[in-house]
Amino acid sequence: MAKQTTILKEISIEGVGLHTGNKSIVVFKPTPAGYGIKFVRIDLPSKPEIAALWSNAASGLAIRGSVIEKEGVRIYTIEHIMSACLALGIDNLIIEISNNEPPILDGSSKIIAEALLNGGIKELDAPKQYYVIKKPVRFESGKTKITAYPSNNLEIDCTIGFDHPLLKYQQMSLGSINKENYINNIAPAKTFCFDYEIEALRNNGFGLGGSMDNAIVLGLDGIHNKEPLRYEDEFVRHKILDLIGDLYLAGKPIKAKIVADKPGHQNNIAFVREFLKGAVLEEDKQSEDVMTGANCGTSSTERILSHEEVLKYIPHRYPLLMIDKVKVNSAEPTKAVGYKCVSGNEGFFQGHFPGAPVMPGILIVEAMAQTSCVMFLSKPEMQGKLAYFMSIDKAKFRIPVRPGDLLELRVEVVKDGRRRGKMRGEAYVDGKLTAETDFMFIIVDRQ
């Protein structure tokens, strides 16, 4: 069983805040178990303490960063610190700050993460707790769509797109968020802005500490910085960095697969609020789950196969991989449920149809078939096998499936002849039947 953590010794960083331009020193200090993560404004006489929670998020201020406040006292741009804490597994921490905004440093969380690691991670004598969900949670606001699926880990799939010739689309899927994955793939990604935004930002009191040293400035023809990008897709990586930090405003780490389309601080925090409505707090049971095969938030006979596990069992890959996760149950071996978060950036929406995007019905049927494939091919005796369609019958399409919809794909065996059989499939969106069909399959040797 995993234990809560803090740091071994005090460490500090200092520099200039991105938006306020104020100089500050931040001191990280260890705490006992159950303390959580709290910021302390030591520059003020009363030394007010503000817990890093979504409930303390400053209303309407999370435009270019996450801001917390309590009784009129604010701390700006905390997301990079929170991101590093979550990824490094730090549960409890006092963060003393000598002004109203932490330093932006190089524009990423790399220096923060390295400082925390230099402070050492100390295990405490208390079980680690996580927020988990038992069914998908969906949030939508404007162009932002964020969906959470049950998972054993925190996973993130993020898509961004802007009305800009060089940044119309970037996407990245990150498996389990852990120290190594974060340090290597996310922490070094720098914050960014467009050159045409700078004057307006500063006129509105933002970006006063920004420079080419701590932000990527993107123009119509490329970046203005002399330093090259650290990653070809650095922009979406930084969005994931920010999202991780905002997710930690739940107050505890989250176990879920997060599929985010055009996330931003204000909507990220609103999503956390929505997520917690359907979440439960559980102590870590990882060692028990490994032994029993159970997943967090499911019964002992039920498993939710992650995206990575799905890829092990079926050969489908982008752009024809139509499912994100599959729930199977050893108590009901002839049934399975697949999940597909329909992103607005799906390739088929470019031509089906411009201005009125609708998911093609045959791809909904394909998603049902892939769910069935995972159900069968995840069984030990089916290693080295493939499944093929033989026929599709009685297909009906009732409600259009559009960008942002969460498809729930329920399949059940009607007739099982071991190597060939018949399935019944139904697709639902928000509990409403959107498509149904019968189909037959045959299982063959992969070779």
**80 pLDDT exceeds 60?**
yes
Helices (H), 123-233: 179-185, 198-203
Average pLDDT over residues 274-299: 63
Average pLDDT, the chain: 91
Whether the pLDDT of residue 291 is over 80: the answer is no
Average pLDDT over residues 361-370: 96
Q: Does domain 3-281 have CATH number 3.30.1700.10?
A: yes
Where exactly are the structural domains of the chain? 3-281, 301-445
The pLDDT value recorded for residue 290 is 34
Comparing CA positions, the residue from 227, 244, 130 lying closest to residue 181 is: 244
Cis bond leading into 319, ω under 30°? yes
393 band by pLDDT with thresholds 50, 70 and 90: very high
Q: What does the pLDDT read at residue 230?
A: 97
pLDDT at res. 177: 92
Same fold, 3-281 and 301-445: no
CA dist., res. 365 & res. 392, Å (int) = 9
- With contact defined as beta carbons under 8 Å apart, do 58 and 39 qualify? no
Burial of 6 (0-12, 13-18, 19+ CB in 10 A): buried
Kindly list the distances between the CA atom of residue 357 and the CA atoms of 321, 343, 400, 404, in Å, as whole numbers in the listed order.
19, 11, 9, 11
Query: Which of 80, 238, 265, 307 does the annotation list as catalytic?
Result: 265
Residue 141 pLDDT: 93
The 10s digit of each residue's pLDDT in 108-167 is: 999 999 999 999 999 999 999 999 998 889 999 998 999 998 888 899 989 999 989 889
Per-residue pLDDT of 42-61, as tens digits, reads 999 999 999 999 999 997 77
pLDDT digits (tens, 9 = 90+) for 155-213: 998 999 998 988 988 988 887 899 999 999 999 999 999 999 999 889 888 889 999 99
Query: 301-445, what's its fold?
Result: Thiol Ester Dehydrase; Chain A (3.10.129)
pLDDT of residue 131: 97
Handedness of CA 322, 328, 334, 339 (dihedral sign): negative
State if pTM tops 0.85: no
| Residue 265 is a catalytic residue | yes
Cβ density class 92-103: b for 16+ within 10 Å, e for less: bbbbbbbbbbbb
